[in-house]
Structure 1
Amino acid sequence: MTEMEKAAAGLLYDANHDPSVLQLRDAAKEKLFAFQQIGAHQRAEREVILRGLLGKLGRNPVFDGPFLCDYGFNIEIGDNFYTNVNLVILDAAKVRIGNNVFIAPNVGLYTSGHPLDAERRNQGLEFALPISIGDNVWIGAGVQVLPGVSIGAGSVVAAGAIVTKDVPAGVVSAGNPARVLRAITDKDRLAYA
């Protein structure tokens, strides 16, 4: 099993010493460097780079940038995606983002984690668990999403939340650790009518 196959299976893998893993990360960093150098008004040119980096990118993406990731090929993004500045996706495992997802500034989606015991951690071993974000989700500023979390369709994660567990569909979640505050209802829609 290669190190990336171990990562995809949720097993401990060598993230810091295996030449093939380092080569994949370096290739992504080169594409990201090119992306960051292109002006924000040159959206078509930026999109070409993103399509060459990401596993899937739907229609009408907006990346205000900067944007950083580990590998790129594990990231799948649906249509009408918007992210503000400073999105970081550590994608040693799959990150699936649905349609019509809005992400505020300074958000981190982290599939990677490290063993609690120092001996394994110091060997450069880590694990990765997938992250899934449903359609029509809004993630507020400064949110951190940890390995293995799913966020259900239509939910809102409030600014500053640290999401350690799954968030069901159609709710507002907030806090550290994030917890469900309430369901999103028709009353919310009518508040802005």
Structure 2
Amino acid sequence: MKVGTKITPDAWPPLEGGASFPLKHRAYRALFQIVWLALARWTPPFLNPWRCLILKAFGARIGKAAMVYSSARIWYPAHLNMGHRATLGPRVNCYNIAPIHLGAYAVISQDAELVTGSHDVDNPAHSLTAAPIVIGPSCWVAAGAFVGPGVVMEAFSVLGARSVCFSACRRGGIYVGNPASLLRERKGFAAQD
């Protein structure tokens, strides 16, 4: 799939009764939530390798020394790809209907929201839409920030605390506000031509 391409969950057509996902998909998510609650949610920080092992068992691709805090909420582990030493901080909401990719050393700080799904407001039924999120190497999504569907953050970019991002962040840029806009370039990480 090409990065930034909007996708719809065609593999998950609406079912009779209004369900958005087939029973098999919902059962997978329910099983993961039960396992996470029973075996990972309560674990102290030093048991990070155990949490990563559970995520891998459910199809996540987790790089060496990646960190996933026990309070992080992951909607669909098979759509999570974390690079070397990437971090999902405390209480991060990883609502990954579509894939989320975190590059090496990317940091998602506490209470941040990574949301790949939305609804088509032009459709009277408000059908589900989704687009992947790509957070490049050495990016930082600060505390309480929101990253929407289809966002690509290029390497070394920063999204400030409580900022809301629905568009691309260029390499080495610091973005703040709602909607997020470029504040300045990080010193030593500016875009390279």
Instruction: Compute the TM-score of the two structures, normalised by the length of structure 2.
Output: 0.83
The CA deviation at 1:117 is 5.0
Cα pair distance change 1:54/1:101, threshold 3 Å: farther
What is the deviation of 1:187? Answer: 9.8
Counterpart residue number, 1:154: 156
Give 2:125's aligned amino acid.
R
- Of residues 115, 121, 131 in structure 1, which corresponds to 2:120? 115
- Which amino acid in the other structure matches residue 23 of structure 1? A
Match in the other structure for 1:61: 66
Q: Please tell me the root mean square deviation across aligned C-alpha atoms, in Å.
A: 2.3
Q: How many residues align structurally?
A: 178
Q: Given residue 68 of structure 2, which amino acid in structure 1 is its aligned partner?
A: F
Measured against aligned partners, the alpha-carbon deviations of 1:52-73 in whole angstroms (never above 9, x if no partner) come to: 2342100112223301122110
Does the alignment pair 1:83 with 2:81? no
Structure 1 segment 9-48 matched on structure 2, within 5 A: 9-10=7-8, 13-14=13-14, 16=20, 18-33=22-37, 34-48=39-53
- Percent identity (aligned): 21
Given candidates 96, 102, 105, the residue that maps to 2:101 is 96
Distance 1:156 1:142 in 2: 13
Query: Do the aligned partners of 2:142 and 2:162 also contact (CA within 8 Å) in 1?
Result: yes
Deviations 1:115-142 (A, max 9, x none): 2157413xxx311101001001011100
Q: Which runs of 5+ in 2 are unaligned?
A: 1-5
**Separation in structure 1 between the aligned mates of residue 178 and residue 160 of structure 2, nearest angstrom:** 11
